[in-house]
Amino acid sequence: MSIKKETMTELFEFLLKSRLVEEKLLDLNSRGEFLGFVHSCIGQEAIPVGTTYHLKKGDYWNCARGHIQSNIVLGMDLKRMFAEFQGKKPGFCGGKGGKVHLCCPEIGNMGFRGIQGAYFGLCLGAALSQKMRKTDNVTLCFFGDGASSQGLFAEALNLSALHKLPLIFVCSNNQYSMHTHFREETVTENIADRGIPYKIPGVVVDGNDLEAVYQAAGEAITNAREGKGPTIIEGKTLRMRGHLEGDQQVYRDFRELEEWKKKDPLDRFTRRVIEMHVLNEGEIKATRERFHKEIDEAVAFAREAPDPAPEDMLQHVFCEE
């Protein structure tokens, strides 16, 4: 299936912008200007970009490693995003969520939970509500290879299949669950195969190929909107950096990393849009400069933004009518 030129351009811009935002975060973190932890998604951005691109108003999704990319695709304001990263009041969560717990219901962002895998149940409930309300909306449940071993994953597979819920499970198999390699924690060849006992279609794609991810997600989401039930999409990729910044990565074989760097999704897609005459090198350079300016302005806004007041800590703790 060919992808329209306009779509290719937008996908490239989202991919590039995501990379530049993450690089800025890493820079701020190295300077001690960032609050909290940075769990980098560099090298695996094609999965959140290629899937989230298909979402529309009323769809839901949960945060995982790649939530920055999904937020960017869905139009989150960078100034308020960086303000949240810096713990400032104008942030989307008033500075109390930070990077990891960034939440924005307006674009379907359900946020992240501190317990890995807990979001399977939340996404299941969101998809159930969409079916009960007879909408054509869907829910994307993002997770990593490590979280797939949680028991709640099996429960979510069973119930979503039983009720034909509009739930798409999106696994970024980046080969590492914190410090443990995928081959050391499971005998399953493909995580997508775990849908077989529940009669859920499983699709395995090259997670560094943005076009492949985009097309697989498009088909799965269309099926979900038409009432055909859930799908598992597994993108094979590699975590290019540590579990979080500061991780010494003594557990990994860096020869593996060097091989995967040759498949960097941004480099691959950049070559692709040039080969297809979607964009030329001059246009790409101009786009990069435009994004650098936008990001620098967002960082400046965040630096000057006010901190939350002490009494703000007691707000949004309980549900208030």
Tell me the per-residue pLDDT of 157-183, one tens digit each, with 9 for 90 and over: 999 999 999 999 999 998 887 878 877
Supply the pTM of this predicted model.
Answer: 0.91
Number of neighbouring beta carbons within 10 Å of residue 194: 21
Asked whether residue 186 is assigned to any structural domain, the reply reads: yes
Asked whether residue 130 is assigned to any structural domain, the reply reads: yes
Report how many domains make up the chain: 1
pLDDT at 66 > cutoff 70: no
Asked whether residue 318 is assigned to any structural domain, the reply reads: no
CATH (domain of 296): 3.40.50.970
Asked whether residue 316 is assigned to any structural domain, the reply reads: no
Full residue range of the structural domain in which residue 20 is found? 5-311
Asked whether residue 317 is assigned to any structural domain, the reply reads: no
Would the CA dihedral through 169, 172, 178, 184 be positive or negative?
positive
Q: Name the token pair of 132.
A: 């009960």
Asked whether residue 66 is assigned to any structural domain, the reply reads: yes
Asked whether residue 96 is assigned to any structural domain, the reply reads: yes
Asked whether residue 279 is assigned to any structural domain, the reply reads: yes
Question: Among all chains, which residue has been given the structure tokens 């939350």?
Answer: 308
Distance CA 126, CA 131 (A): 9
Taking only the tens place, the pLDDT of each residue in 115-135 is 777 889 999 999 999 999 999
